[in-house]
């Protein structure tokens, strides 16, 4: 089977911020023989701490128990490191960088894609073109994205070694805002800050937007201000948070959606990259087992829709709770965090 990867990034394996991989994704990577190498580029998350906006503790969770229970750790790493490991494992797959796919046309024996470099034909087209997928728009003839009411800044900051403990995830809850931090290297931390507000244009940001983040989180406990201040503009991204209701379909003839193109979700369960990895393995199995490409894609669609619909809804509910703005609701949430046993809190993130 000849496979061609059309990548819109001019330099695949560069850019991005940070992410988490949960045991469900590591199980799939282990099947591919890639878990060990990916874990070598990552840091385990061993402990979670939650505080209110003033720095008062709300909860503490033992994240190391995840590995004891599942046999796989919870890890965090740079997006670029994960991409490079996956790219290196492609073998004879042809990678064509700097290409955008605009549309597709199904035929009985092939699918034709219109790209920024001309026409590409094949037996099957897999559209893993993200939350704002062009090909999903063509497939569904509508834009199903729904803005959930908050913007997020995400960045990677360089701090002196050891100034933020490795293995620790720390999150602060405010009213209509929150801030989370974890280390992804000896002197690198990933951070994410969210604030309720109208949708704005996302994408790479500059010094003015860093100043905006500093203003949004002024007066928050350390190290919130220091990680924002030490983040270079090129390592900072701002975006609205969106998801969709379950899509009516993921496939159309010989074309199919994968990852965020099929099921965009909030980052609250840490499952965005994990579900894309699960999708890829599921699709491969369906292609091997089915007699025809359309049959394979329909089987993959059925399995994926069953798996992801509940995760998208759970992640949305968790995100909205974290973003509660009314003072009564914010106090209620913080009280819940203090009273719920850590083992129960951890079960909220269970994805098998």
The full set of domains in the chain, from first to last, is 4-35+78-142+249-321 (3.50.50.60)
Sheet holding 43-44, edge to edge: 18-21, 75-78, 43-44
Q: Are 45 and 20 spatial neighbours (Cβ–Cβ below 8 Å)?
A: yes
SS3 106: strand
**Would you write out the chain's pLDDT as a tens digit for each of its 352 residues?**
789 999 999 988 888 899 999 999 999 999 999 999 999 999 999 999 999 999 999 999 999 999 999 999 999 999 999 999 999 999 889 999 999 999 999 999 999 999 999 999 999 999 999 999 999 999 998 889 999 999 999 999 998 877 899 999 999 999 999 999 999 998 999 999 999 999 876 555 677 889 999 999 999 998 999 999 999 988 999 999 999 999 999 999 999 999 999 999 999 999 999 999 999 999 999 999 999 999 999 999 999 999 999 999 999 999 999 999 999 999 999 999 999 999 999 888 887 6
Strand segments, DSSP code E, in the chain are: 4-7, 18-21, 43-44, 47-52, 57-62, 75-78, 94-97, 101-107, 110-115, 118-122, 125-127, 146-158, 168-173, 177-183, 188-196, 203-204, 236-243, 251-252, 255-257
pLDDT of residue 204: 56
Supply 283's token pair.
């699709």
pLDDT of residue 193: 98
| Stated length of the chain | 352
Q: Alpha carbon of 342 to those of 105, 219, 335, 347: distances in Å?
A: 51, 28, 14, 9
Beta pairing class for 4-7 and 94-97: parallel
Strand segments, DSSP code E, in 98-145 are: 101-107, 110-115, 118-122, 125-127
* Beta-bridge partners for 21: 75
Q: Alpha carbon of 213 to those of 16, 77, 217: distances in Å?
A: 18, 23, 6
Q: CA dihedral defined by 316, 322, 326, 332, rounded to 10 degrees? A: 110
DSSP 8-class letter at 258: -
Burial class of residue 228 (count of CB atoms within 10 Å of its CB; 0-12, 13-18, 19+): buried
pLDDT of residue 205: 65
Residues 6 or more apart whose CB falls under 8 angstroms from that of 113 comprise 6, 101, 103, 104, 105, 119, 120, 121, 122, 125
Q: Alpha carbon of 67 to those of 26, 28, 174: distances in Å?
A: 11, 15, 30
- Cβ-based neighbour number of residue 195 at 10 Å: 19
Q: Is the full-model pTM beyond 0.85?
A: yes
Alpha carbon distance 333, 310 (integer Å): 22
DSSP 8-class letter at 269: G
Q: Alpha carbon of 351 to those of 27, 45, 64, 286: distances in Å?
A: 12, 16, 16, 22
- Residue 101 phi/psi, 5-degree rounding, is -100, 125
């Amino acid at each position: 089977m000849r496979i061609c990867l059309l990548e819109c990034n001019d330099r695949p394996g560069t850019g991005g911020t940070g992410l988490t991989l949960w045991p469900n994704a590591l199980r799939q990577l282990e099947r591919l023989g890639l878990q060990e190498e990916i874990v070598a580029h990552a840091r385990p998350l061993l402990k979670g701490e939650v505080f209110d906006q003033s720095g008062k503790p709300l909860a503490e969770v033992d994240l190391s128990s995840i590995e004891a229970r599942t046999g796989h750790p919870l890890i965090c790493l740079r997006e670029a490191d994960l991409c490079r490991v996956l790219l290196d494992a492609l073998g004879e797959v042809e990678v064509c960088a700097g290409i955008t796919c605009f549309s597709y046309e199904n035929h009985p024996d092939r699918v034709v894609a219109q790209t920024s470099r001309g026409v590409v034909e094949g037996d099957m087209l897999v559209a893993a073109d993200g939350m704002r997928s062009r090909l999903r728009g063509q497939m569904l003839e509508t834009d199903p994205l729904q803005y959930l009411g908050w913007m997020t800044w995400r960045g990677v900051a360089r701090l002196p070694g050891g100034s933020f403990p490795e293995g620790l995830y720390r999150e602060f809850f405010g009213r209509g805002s929150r801030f989370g931090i974890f280390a992804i290297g000896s002197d690198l931390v990933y951070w994410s800050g969210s604030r309720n507000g109208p949708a704005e244009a996302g994408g790479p940001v500059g010094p003015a937007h860093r100043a905006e983040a500093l203003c949004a989180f002024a007066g928050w406990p350390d190290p919130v201000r220091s990680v924002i201040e030490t983040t270079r503009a090129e390592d900072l991204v701002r975006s609205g948070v969106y998801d969709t209701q379950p899509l009516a379909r993921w496939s159309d003839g010989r074309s199919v959606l994968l990852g965020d193109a099929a099921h965009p979700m909030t980052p609250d369960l840490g499952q965005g990259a994990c579900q894309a990895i699960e999708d890829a393995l599921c699709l491969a199995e369906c292609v091997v087992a089915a007699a025809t490409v359309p049959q394979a894609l329909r089987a993959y669609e059925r399995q994926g829709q069953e798996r992801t619909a509940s995760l998208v809804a759970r992640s949305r509910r968790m995100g909205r709770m974290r973003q509660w703005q009314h003072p009564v609701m914010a106090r209620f949430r913080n009280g819940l965090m203090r009273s719920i046993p850590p083992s129960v809190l951890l079960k909220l993130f269970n994805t098998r």
